[in-house]
Chain A
Amino acid sequence: MASDESGPVVSARGVVKSFGQLRVLDSLTLDIPRGVTYCLLGPNGSGKTTLIRAIVGLLKIDGGDLNVLGMPVSRVQQIYSKIGYMTQHKALYPDLTLQENLEFFAGLYGIGKQEREQRIVELLRMVNLQDLRNRLAGTLSGGMYQRLSLACTLIHEPELLLLDEPTVGVDPRLRQTFWKYFERLTSDGRTVLITTHLMDEAEKCRIVGYMKAGKMTAVGSPDDIKRQAGLKPHLELWLKDPEKDCARLRAEGYEIEILDGVVSLRLESHEQIKSVLEIVSPIDMRLKEPMLEEAFLQLSEAA
């Protein structure tokens, strides 16, 4: 049952799913290549969770083609040992200790005792819960619970990791640790599909897919997305003689906005900075890169 090593890990062609009258996935097409972190972004109700649930075979799709690790989704249960799925529920047993929770999930995947112990130690360290292994999971705080849930999802070293909002309630420093771990996983050829509302996290992903009303409206690297949204970097200039300098810049065809005495100028590319400096000599200047968030705001308004 070796999955196709070269093809995409998840490939969807015209996938349709409706709940009654509501079309939640609308001819959705997407490819998730192997060994990347793929971020699924989109407003609430855009179909992100539905898509993940369809990928793991919990929801039956109404139409289209959906393949997971080279297997049609109708037979996805044959490869469940290669999939790690973390729901928004953070499925754990509150009346078991951390160790027992991890042992249980390891047992479901048939991991031997020695290997299991090794992984439990490693994962508890990663989620920074190593000192609490004999605590009952129910006594953990929200963020800790979340971290344990992630550790349980990773226990069988899945090839494809599907994480539905994994970092809610996790503090920034630990989020860094998570992302480092995800990078390590992808460098081993594993694939991580993640949904998040946090733009700074989306920026860390290799590919970002923007979903709206059941469709992928933009897909690409964070830079690609910004370009698709038509967002350009801005150069902010503090000028000695703003009126005169602005007139000269306008004469050269630059778009200019003045706000609180600061001149903001739209760049087509970073190379333009040089030619701007040939026209004016600012007292100070600052380069403002476009934010992914703005790109999505633009895209969702446009769609």
Chain B
Amino acid sequence: MIQVSLRRIGVVALRVVRQLKRDRRTIGLIAFAPIVLMILFGYALSGEMSGVALGLVDCGGHPALRSHLEAIEDFDVLRLGSESDAELLVSEGRLNGAVVLQPDEVRVLLDASSLQISQAILTAAQSGAQKEAANLQKPQENFVITRYLFGYDLEMMDTVGPAIMGLVVFFFTFINAAISFIRERSQGTLEKFMVSPLSRVEMVLGYVLGFSLFTLLQSTTTLLVVTLGFKVPMRGNPLTALTVVLLLGAGALVLGSFLSNFARSEFQVVQFIPLVITPQIVLCGVWWPLQSIPEFIRPISYMLPLTYAGDALRAVMLKGSSLTEIIFPDLLALTVFFLVFFAAATLMLKRQVD
């Protein structure tokens, strides 16, 4: 029997907020964590990408051109699966350009917003093509075709910023929720709930509501740090960005609630971090484009909520996408993730033990 009373949900939410409010260390971390993460990921990792980021799509042929490009020290060559991947990354400003090798021609995709780099890439591609031509018995006509795309000329900080917001919210909500549920169990309050008119659905929804207020505060702070402190652009509507973050936070909460069933103490919750948080950081496609992740691992990326949240937040903040533009696949995926783990978390809160 599922019964839902908004008032009871509110009672749980109010309690959760009161408890969180009193946890000063967590409140402090909300403001502090995004700054640390921005510095860590934004500055420290950006060094890796100091060279020209060049995508390479190899569809056969032109081995001399390929090895020429790969041998250039200033270029960070990233192998990509298809031309459309390359186009996307160039237009997102995550690659400075790409070279598509086809048996009969070579297409060079360039970012029109950074002409110097484009020139360097083009020069390299042409000198590679000359080497290639020297190897051939029948010299071909000019087989290098150039296409200009309009990228954003973004800095590493800009691409990382939106995802940091998602990461911070996901991390803190997940940990806090899992620990809260562990405590409900160990201090006996869960058993008391079970013998009260509060239903399981109401309880989890109360948590979602209470934590959402917290998430709102957290993501607003992060948004301010990222946009004002680190000058990441905010081209779209900030409310759209907050919607994405709230949905992500709700997903993190129900995941935490669900996984708390498999931990016996707060200490064991912390041990979930390598399993739950780390893969999201590595595989969400923020620090390394999804297209550069080996194909057999990529399905995992597509199961992680941070992948979609990162994508949606980048779209809103950097491209100015509207809410309707990010429904598919990002908001849809985040909603499905939430619903699946909401059901799982609720079902695990068993009233009866056998």
Contact = CB atoms under 8 A, between A and B. Distances in A.
Interface of A: 56-60, 77, 80-81, 83, 85, 87-96, 100, 104-105, 107-110, 136
A136 B19 CA distance: 11
Interface in B174-206: 187-189, 191-198
B298 interface: no
A96 B16 CA distance: 10
Given A58-B351, A100-B18, A89 B197 contact: no
B195 A60 contact: no
Contact of A85 (B192, B198, B353): B192
Nearest to B21: A95
Given A57-B352, A58-B352, A110-B197, A91 B192 contact: yes
Contacts of B138: none
Contacts of A87: 188, 191-192
B18 A108 contact: no
B194 A81 contact: no
22 contacts: A57-B351, A57-B352, A59-B352, A87-B188, A88-B188, A89-B188, A91-B189, A91-B191, A91-B192, A92-B187, A92-B189, A93-B15, A93-B19, A104-B11, A105-B196, A107-B8, A108-B197, A109-B196, A109-B197, A110-B7, A110-B8, A136-B22
Given A80-B197, A91-B192, A59 B15 contact: no
B11 A91 contact: no
A83 B195 contact: yes
A81 B199 CA distance: 12
B48 interface: no
A280 to B, nearest CB: 59
A108 to B, nearest CB: 5
B354 interface: yes
Nearest to A100: B18
B295 interface: no
A96 B19 contact: yes
B197 A60 contact: no
A96 B180 CA distance: 13
B141 interface: no
A202 B187 CA distance: 28
A89 B5 CA distance: 27
B31 to A, nearest CB: 21
Interface in B1-28: 1, 5, 7-8, 10-11, 14-15, 18-19, 22-23
Contacts of B22: 95-96, 136
A90 B352 contact: no
A93 B187 contact: yes
Contacts of B14: 104, 107
B194 A58 contact: yes
Nearest to B350: A58
Nearest to B189: A91
Nearest to B7: A110
Interface residues of B, number: 27
Nearest to B185: A89
Contacts of B351: 57-58, 77
Given A57-B195, A100-B18, A91 B352 contact: no
A49 B351 CA distance: 16
Contacts of A105: 192, 196
A136 B7 CA distance: 25
Contacts of A107: 7-8, 10-11, 14-15
B190 to A, nearest CB: 8
Contacts of B1: 77
A57 B194 CA distance: 9
Contacts of B198: 108
A93 B186 CA distance: 11
Contacts of A95: 19, 22-23
A105 B14 CA distance: 12
Contacts of B189: 91-93
A84 to B, nearest CB: 9
A144 B258 CA distance: 33
A57 B193 CA distance: 12
Given A89-B187, A100-B18, 6 more contacts: A77-B1, A90-B188, A91-B188, A93-B189, A96-B22, A110-B197
Contacts of A85: 192, 195
Contacts of A110: 5, 7-8, 197
B23 to A, nearest CB: 7
Nearest 7 CB-CB pairs, A to B?
Answer: A89-B188, A107-B11, A91-B188, A91-B192, A91-B189, A85-B195, A56-B195
A108 B194 CA distance: 11
Contacts of A80: 195-197
A105 B15 CA distance: 10
B7 A100 contact: no
Contacts of A91: 187-189, 191-192
Contacts of B5: 110
Contact of A96 (B10, B15, B193, B197): B15
**Taking each of B15, B23, B353, B354, which has the highest tally of chain A beta carbons within 10 Å of its own beta carbon?**
B15
B163 to A, nearest CB: 32
A57 B191 CA distance: 11
Contacts of B196: 80-81, 105, 108-109
Contacts of A92: 187, 189
A100 B15 contact: yes
A107 B197 CA distance: 10
Nearest to A110: B7
A247 to B, nearest CB: 63
Interface in B149-195: 187-189, 191-195
Contacts of A108: 8, 11, 193, 196-198
Given A80-B195, A83-B195, A59 B188 contact: no
